[in-house]
Amino acid sequence: MANNIDKLAADNIRILSAAMVEKAKSGHPGGAMGGADFIHILYSEFLRFDPDNMAWPFRDRFFLDPGHMSPMLYSMLTLIEKMSMEDIKQFRQWGSPTPGHPERDVSRGIENTSGPLGQGHAMAIGAAIGERFLCARFGEWMAHKTYAYISDGGIQEEISQGAGRIAGHLGLNNLILFFDSNDIQLSTETSQVTSEDTAAKYRAWGWNVYTIDGNDPAQIRQALQKAVEEKEKPTLIIGKTIMGKGAVDEKGNSFERKTSTHGMPLGEAGASFEKTIRNLGGDPADPFRIFPEVKEYYRKVLDRKRKEVAELKRMEAEWRAQNPQLAAKLDFFFSGQPPKIDYASITHKEGIATRAASANVLSVFAQQVENMIVASADLSNSDKTDGFLKHTKPFRKGDFSGSFLQAGVCELTMAALCNGMALHGGVIPACGTFFVFSDYQKPAVRLAALMGLPVKFIWTHDAFRVGEDGPTHQPVEQEAQIRLLEHLRNHHGRRSMLVMRPADATETTIAWKLAMENT
């Protein structure tokens, strides 16, 4: 029975994914069809969530990195009753809840706006750091896993270097990354662009690595179970999947493993949409339906999730009864309310640089804002985030009692990690670097703006007068670029970003006050 329902559910996801793209006349069906087996096993057997409150703070998180594989996610969210058939029929249409790349909507089960490849799994690593930070303060009763899904393209993106290094260095055993390795990308087979040993690379960073048949439910189940039980390291599961699994052409011949199915509807790619749907057990005249057996199976899955969550909430209630002060603090952390700071009491020496004034403010935050995490890309003594660091300590493997992330030289990764921390909730992330290096951070800053995340980006050395380092380190056009984000509207129709450039110490204090109140 298990094998049969696993195949039925995965094929149902494949049918819905292909149908969405075909109806929209654009999109990416092949990867979604290949990933269907994994997403089914993950959601039905492993991912912990409350079907009646997808924003439950202690849920497992699932971050989708390849946003073009949104049909796979939307199909799954339909199976767990967070999206309707009408929703997915409106795939890639203006104003619909199912855009071509997912946009954050936690109430429906979408944790992150995917954005350009690579950022999604980096945000997942940030969320995993946030979880470890909070567990260090409130206990392992609230521990949960962070799952991420990455494709060949995401692995190739430079951001994967910094993200993989940091996750391994910190020993994020709560992190499970599935690499959908189908050896196909938009223009070519991956063999034409890379010959790296991905498994060896991640092992060198300190990860557990399992290589499996990514379309075999038993192997997926076994690898996920090992990953869930892991106590020391993050886990990478390399799933060798089949692009366009189940696709056939007009003659009924296999049309799997084709680059064309990566980025266009099956009918345009050279496959037969109708015969593919029939091959998968569906009705080409009515592909937007859930098989009765799958519907009943997922009804039982949701009932089981409710029972599991009820038991966890009972444990939480016991902890709250025994720790009322900690419980109140935890609620405040997740409330999103700004911390109570007496900014008028913060004093500065006459004529100090704004970065030094910022250090004074950060020093106060380190002592009074217990849920703040500050990061720096190997510049803490120059961007003066060390004002915060002097009152805490950096994260280390197995020790998240501090509040500082020494990210190393990886500005984009650091920014994406902070986005992930903010997405997790319960923490206030900030990160610092030189203003000219905002160029490296821009893709993540843009996603923070689109999602409306209250991440604090600290940019020092913000004038062209940084002359000794030469023109490569003189920010000239950067302010204009960043200020453009102030005038863009985000997902919620609001201004995307608040940008402040204080001129002296007093303005620096006020700028920090406004930043902390900008939640």
In the chain, the amino acid numbered 444 is A
Phi (first) and psi of residue 391, to 5 degrees: -110, 10
Task: Tell me how far the alpha carbon of residue 442 is from its chain's centroid.
Answer: 17
Phi (first) and psi of residue 300, to 5 degrees: -70, -35
Q: In 100-192, which ranges are continuous DSSP H helix?
A: 119-138, 152-156, 159-170
Say which residues have a Cβ less than 8 Å from residue 200's Cβ, sequence separation at least 6: none
Encoded tokens for 223: 């690898």
Q: Which of these is catalytic: 45, 411, 468, 479?
A: 411
Alpha-carbon gap, residue 82 to 44, rounded angstroms: 14
The length of the chain in residues reads: 519
Q: Is 197 exposed, middle or buried (0-12, 13-18, 19+ CB in 10 A)?
A: exposed
At 473, which helix (H) or strand (E)? none
Alpha-carbon gap, residue 358 to 458, rounded angstroms: 9
Selection from 258, 248, 256 nearest residue 282 by Cα: 248
At 266, which helix (H) or strand (E)? helix 266-269
Residue 517 falls in the annotated catalytic set? no
Q: The sheet that has 404-406: what strands, in order across it? A: 404-406, 372-376, 428-434, 456-460
Q: The sheet that has 235-240: what strands, in order across it? A: 61-64, 146-151, 175-181, 235-240, 208-213
Q: Report the catalytic residues.
A: 411
